[in-house]
Amino acid sequence: MAAARSLVVGSPNKNVLRLLRESFASVPLPTTLMIVATLLSSVRAGFYIASMGGVTQALLDQDQRSAVRWTLVFAAAAYGEHLFYPLRSHLESIILDRTIHRLQKRVLERASSAPLVAFEIGPFFSRLERATDNLGARVSSILNYWLYTVQLVVMAGSVLVPLWFINQWFVPILVVGMAPGFIAQYRTATVVHEARLRNASGDLLMRRLGEILTDRNAGAEIRLFGNGPDLVRRWVAARSDRGADIIAAERTRTRAMTSGEMGVAIAVIATLGIMVQLLVQGQAPPGSWVTVTIGIDWYLGMLYGLASTARGFREESVFLGDLFTFEAEADAIVAEQIERRARTPGTAAPPTTSFPGTTAMEIVADNVSFAYPDTEHAVVREISLRIRPGERIAIVGENGAGKSTLVRLLTGLYLPDSGTVRMDGLDSAGKDALALRGQIGAVFQDYVPWQLTARENIGFGNVSRLHDDPALQRAAERAGVADLIDDLPDGLDTWLGRQFGERDLSGGQWQRIALARAFVRDSRLLVLDEPTAALDPLAEQRLFERFASLTEGRTAIMISHRLGPARYADRVIVMDRGQIVEAGHHDALLEKGGLYARMFAAQAEWYNSP
């Protein structure tokens, strides 16, 4: 996984070319037609400029036939491009839609298939956030920048053609004279963007402070504790530092552009001087003055447009680097896990069933250790544990003891750095163990309040029953949320949450919905990680009084900071600093007088003290 984290994919230019290949791969014919249409519509610039001079000269010469001929050329050049607009608009919509869909789908597939531990890698997660930040608009901008660049280059070249026919010195004078200005703008194109990148952490702080100051949930604390003025001052300080750096970058870019403009001025003056001399000496027709002056103006516009496009190109290409590097990192991490699973034997001794007739899952951990990526401290250290089929386990301990990490190891969401975890005899690192995930139901501490319908909030626990209303209702009843569902305007089809929904829920209601999501699955292993943290005491008591019936026929693992519910478990596992320090039934651990007894006494004293 370390190799995957060090990947950096492509230079900005290579990334843009890769994006173009993605476009061709998505829709080859529309992309080809778009390029051809862009080239044909861009060539008209040279004809337009030549026709302006030709019409002027024909009128001065009172040459009717020449005037008509040049007028037709002018009309075709000036208005012919409009014939391409409907086609280009249609092709562009197809290209953008298919290319963006292709990239978005790939990112989402990689994000959903990456192992859970990958999200603990700071650079990986940050790159994923940047890669998905407004992906569609960014890809659209880059493709438009590229098409605009092709158009400007072709137009600039076509503008120089009629000038070359008037005098061959015009082209080298304009190209060489204006090159320094273009190069200066190109080199300083990302100065301001780089300043913004330097201030990315400050921007994040500003954004977070702004969110806190305007957040509905934070409003009560801000007003009660009087934090508003201090938060505003911190926002102003961060904004001032950022502004000073960006203004300095703008100053650097302005100086570079000003020096470049001197070369542009010299080239224009030289070209016009030669043109005047040719006219005075009668070596060029008067109409050519119109062609040259309009040609210079257009050529300047093309160069400035190219410089501006280059700036946008380089700024947006940073996003492409994040996008393609994330894909490479995700592929490398997934390939590493696949290789590890392929090396791991897929079969082992069958589980020992302690409760005859049960279909519950057996889990055996043998000398398991685990440390999060980029850390040396093991969160779980040399743990050996056997959970018998149908056994109800409570895992307790102080914050940071490693409880949730251990559960993720026992369910195969994390793979151990050393030791083995076997589920029904299958090594969790082996590919055959993946099939067991469909037999695990869970409510995690950081459960997801889906901003979707109540049906989907419950049914996502078992998508095969998404439209099985009786099954969803039974799950809701077991979780104690059936009355809430019945009171919703459209029942199971009511949208929940504030983003799209018709009904927002309290924290306890959301948690009961998450419980229903776990219960709708016919799981052989049920994991409850702080399942009642948001419930009121009476609701918590009612839930745990039904704990035995809710977990009947299943192996159950429960994590709880409050030790009262541990009384309902067959065995209590006490963790401290990543290790199991005690294990046994609630009553036996109290009699032992160890860490569990001290923790239980401390909580009991809190409730019993006057």
Rounded Cα–Cα distance for residues 266 and 586 (Å)? 91
Do 155 and 287 belong to one domain?
yes
Domain boundary among 340, 375, 408: 340
The 3-state secondary structure of 166-231, one letter per residue: HCCCHHHHHHHHHHHHHHHHHHCCCHHHHHHHHCHHHHHHHHHHHHHHHCCCCHHHHHHHCCHHHH
In this predicted structure, the answer to whether residue 17 has a pLDDT above a threshold of 90 is: no
pTM: predicted TM-score of the whole model, two decimal places: 0.66
Q: For 75, phi and psi rounded to 5 degrees?
A: -65, -45
Long-range interactions of 9-14: CB distance < 8 A, separation 24+: 9/321, 9/324, 9/325, 9/327, 9/328, 10/320, 10/321, 10/324, 12/313, 12/314, 12/317, 12/318, 12/320, 12/321, 13/317
Do 290 and 394 belong to one domain?
no
What sign does the dihedral 447-448-454-459 (CA atoms) show?
A: negative
Whether 348 maps to a domain, the answer reads no
Residue 490 belongs to what domain range?
363-608
Distances (CA, A) of 464 to 438, 471, 523: 12, 11, 14
Out of 31-45, 60-74, 146-160, 323-337, least confident range: 323-337
Do 443 and 499 belong to one domain?
yes
Whether 349 maps to a domain, the answer reads no
Do 315 and 424 belong to one domain?
no
Give me the pLDDT at residue 355, please. 41
Whether 345 maps to a domain, the answer reads no
446 closest CA partner among 379, 536, 558, 533: 533
Whether 219 maps to a domain, the answer reads yes
Do 305 and 425 belong to one domain?
no
Q: Domain with 525 in it: what CATH number? A: 3.40.50.300
Residue with tokens 């409570």: 394
Give me the pLDDT at residue 532, please. 67
Question: Are 170 and 274 contacting, i.e. CB atoms less than 8 angstroms apart?
Answer: yes
Out of 279-288, 315-324, 432-441, least confident range: 315-324
> Alpha helix locations (H) across 392-534?
403-410, 454-459, 469-478, 482-487, 507-519
In this predicted structure, the answer to whether residue 354 has a pLDDT above a threshold of 60 is: no
Whether 358 maps to a domain, the answer reads no
Is 187 or 64 the better-scoring residue by pLDDT? 64
Do 217 and 282 belong to one domain?
yes
Do 58 and 192 belong to one domain?
yes
Rounded Cα–Cα distance for residues 159 and 298 (Å)? 7
For helices 135-166 and 170-187, give the axis angle rounded to 10 degrees: 160
Whether 356 maps to a domain, the answer reads no
Residue with tokens 């980029």: 374
How far from the centroid of its chain's Cα atoms is residue 605's Cα? 47
Do 296 and 156 belong to one domain?
yes
Residue-wise pLDDT tens digits, 73-131: 988 887 777 777 788 888 888 888 888 888 888 888 888 888 888 777 777 777 777 77
Whether 462 maps to a domain, the answer reads yes
Q: Which two tokens stand for residue 350?
A: 């069958």
Residue-wise pLDDT tens digits, 251-280: 877 777 777 777 788 888 998 999 999 889
Q: Domain with 316 in it: what CATH number? A: 1.20.1560.10
Rounded Cα–Cα distance for residues 336 and 3 (Å)? 10
Do 442 and 577 belong to one domain?
yes
Domain boundary among 340, 373, 401: 340
The CA-based angle 401-402-407, given to 5 degrees, is 140
- The highest-confidence range among 203-207, 274-278, 606-610, by mean pLDDT, is 274-278
Average pLDDT over the chain, rounded to whole?
Answer: 82
Whether 66 maps to a domain, the answer reads yes
Is 224 or 293 the better-scoring residue by pLDDT? 293
Do 416 and 329 belong to one domain?
no
Give me the pLDDT at residue 349, please. 45
Rounded Cα–Cα distance for residues 74 and 55 (Å)? 8
Out of 310-319, 348-357, 432-441, least confident range: 348-357
3-state secondary structure (DSSP) of residue 495:
strand
Is 348 or 262 the better-scoring residue by pLDDT? 262
Domain count, the chain: 2
The 3-state secondary structure of 143-156, one letter per residue: HHHHHHHHHHHHHH
Do 397 and 472 belong to one domain?
yes
Give me the pLDDT at residue 4, please. 47
Q: Are strands 525-529 and 426-427 parallel, antiparallel or unpaired?
A: unpaired
Do 313 and 414 belong to one domain?
no
